[in-house]
Chain A
Amino acid sequence: MRYLPNSDSDRAAMLKATGRSSVEEFFDRIPREVRLKGRLDLPGPLSEPEILEFFRQAASRSSREYVSLLGAGAYSHYIPVAVKALLSRGEFFTAYTPYQAEIAQGTLQAMFEFQTLMTQLTGMEVSNASLYDGSTATTEAVLMAMRVTRRSRVLLARTLHPEYRQVLETFIRHQRTELEQVPYEESGQLDLARLESALKAETAAVVVQSPNFFGTLERTAKIAEVVHRNGALLIVTITEPLSLAVVKPPREADIVCGEAQSFGVPVAFGGPYVGFLTAKEKFLRQMPGRLVGQTVDTEGRRGFVLTLATREQHIRREKATSNICTNQSLCALAVTIYLSLLGKNGLKRLAEENLAKAHYAARQLAAIPGVATPFAAPHFNEFVVRTPGDANELLADLRKQRIIAGLNLERFYPELRNHLLVCVTETARREAIDRMVEAFSRATGSSAELAGCRTAGNGAV
């Protein structure tokens, strides 16, 4: 077996040195009755070409020939090849957590840079070195807010990613907490009046996503005002942080968290991704996850170490702020490399391009009779389209043209039947957008005649 570096004579020599006569003896403590008898039904052993063949087959049964206009928490952006080249360096990807700081300054400095980049993007004061993903980062933010305020009710915008809400529900169930949803209004944004009436003395935090699940930008400054008057914390979660290159960051929030997958991490059927959590400095000691701090060595040279580890599980055990052990270091490194490559200028240009393409598509689609973009508030690279006929039929039609035209929102929002969530990034070429619009036009042309009146949902709950 090619991964095993010892020959049979090596094994024999080592066995001799231990004074045993057979390797079996090392397993003596395992009771005979529970030892495996016979074989396991596993594939292999396979050579490299055979493994490649298997996975190439799997890769051929994919949507790679299709133009995809899906976003909804996972975004297709071009990843410069330098990212992969640098990530592939064995010293980065085969290293462990940097507990031995003297021989891990590479990882530690990169994570310090990651923390800096995230605070620059979000307008917050401190960042950790990443969490598993946006959904668990949001959950951790809520737990944090509950610890800080010592309150137990949480308000969630209905326009928070539904799967993020589901994850929060799973983990909050045993924390004596109440979750309540706040609906959206006609503009596609959080209903401020409903928010005010939902805030109570026991409200620890309000969670708002911006751009929200519909792609719409929220009025975070106004929301913060209302939330803070109540003594609660504002958590803004961001699934498409590319928006922060052209959208003012929510500086009035207390915690800004979310998903950094857009920055150099492939869509990869849902993972691994990379969550981020940034906050005001006063919440530092309640912050979960790893933190990299700057310090000096005995000669006064600058260096970096994991710090404030006493919040973490390996020291506090039952009293830890969370049970997180791993961060998403390699993915956070990809983010750091990606953002370094794009930099201030590249990121802005990329965001403008996303904005331009999405608005181009939205305008063209809205111009088709029977098709509307119902939410009037500003959006970034995602928006909602109302179809005159059955959205599933339309999607099926477009699939024949090798276009995955978006997500049917009915999946998560029963009040939004026949509404599609469409995401247009820089990866969609104009001719693909035009083809999509054309196909849309053709498909809805016929169903527009059959359709009667359709009302858009307004999120009334």
Chain B
Amino acid sequence: MYPQEFLYTKEHEWIRVDEGIGTIGITDYAQKELGDIVYVELSKPGEHVAANESFGTVESVKAVSEIYSPVSGEVTAVNAKLQNNPEMLNTDPHGEAWLVQVRLSDRSEIEKLMSAEEYEAYIQKEKSA
């Protein structure tokens, strides 16, 4: 159920890389854990992010989660729709509700990420822990 063309992080983010631009979001597992999402705060275009550093937060009624960037680079786009419709993250986390796009500064970083199968195995372990 997790898209094959994405790569995944242990913090439950996904990234799809096209020609040096990575589109980043949170996974279905993450949105389920958070519950009804009420607010999203993200870095702005032009800002730089570093791999494993936070570039924003996602808030639900009962929790706040930092979102960590899987890669380093410059933010080229932010999904404006999430401002007024944060609940999209609950209904379409892998599609319409992408968070940001980043121009990768170091392609090799994606080698450290998990494939869809690896991620599914990872969350199975998390669930039974």
Residues of A within 8 A of B (CB): 285, 309-310, 315-316, 319
| Distance between Cα atoms of A315 and B60 in the complex (Å) | 11
Q: Which of B39, B60, B62 contacts A285 (CB 8 A)?
A: B39
Q: How many A-B residue pairs have CB under 8 A?
A: 16
Q: B63 in the interface, Cβ–Cβ < 8 Å?
A: yes
Asked if A316 and B64 make an inter-chain contact with CB atoms under 8 angstroms apart, the answer reads: yes
9 closest pairs, A vs B, by CB? A310-B64, A310-B59, A316-B64, A315-B64, A315-B63, A315-B62, A310-B63, A285-B39, A319-B64
| Distance between Cα atoms of A316 and B61 in the complex (Å) | 12
* Distance from A255 Cβ to chain B, minimum over Cβ atoms (Å): 20
Categorize the interface residue count of chain B.
Answer: under 10
| Distance between Cα atoms of A208 and B38 in the complex (Å) | 35
| Distance between Cα atoms of A121 and B62 in the complex (Å) | 32
Q: Return chain A residues, CB-CB under 8 Å to B59.
A: 310
| Distance between Cα atoms of A319 and B39 in the complex (Å) | 16
* Distance from A282 Cβ to chain B, minimum over Cβ atoms (Å): 13
Q: Return chain B residues, CB-CB under 8 Å to A310.
A: 38-39, 59-64
Q: Return chain A residues, CB-CB under 8 Å to B38.
A: 310
Mark B23-50 against chain A: 1 for CB-CB distance below 8 A, else 0: 0000000000000001100000000000
Instruction: Given A310-B59, A319-B64, output 13 extra A-B contacts at Cβ < 8 Å.
Output: A309-B61, A309-B62, A310-B38, A310-B39, A310-B60, A310-B61, A310-B62, A310-B63, A310-B64, A315-B62, A315-B63, A315-B64, A316-B64
Q: What would 16 A/B residue contacts be, using CB atoms closer than 8 Å?
A: A285-B39, A309-B61, A309-B62, A310-B38, A310-B39, A310-B59, A310-B60, A310-B61, A310-B62, A310-B63, A310-B64, A315-B62, A315-B63, A315-B64, A316-B64, A319-B64
| Distance between Cα atoms of A285 and B64 in the complex (Å) | 13
| Distance between Cα atoms of A181 and B60 in the complex (Å) | 41
With CB as the reference atom, state the residue of chain B lying closest to A319.
B64
* Distance from A305 Cβ to chain B, minimum over Cβ atoms (Å): 9
| Distance between Cα atoms of A319 and B66 in the complex (Å) | 11
| Distance between Cα atoms of A316 and B59 in the complex (Å) | 10
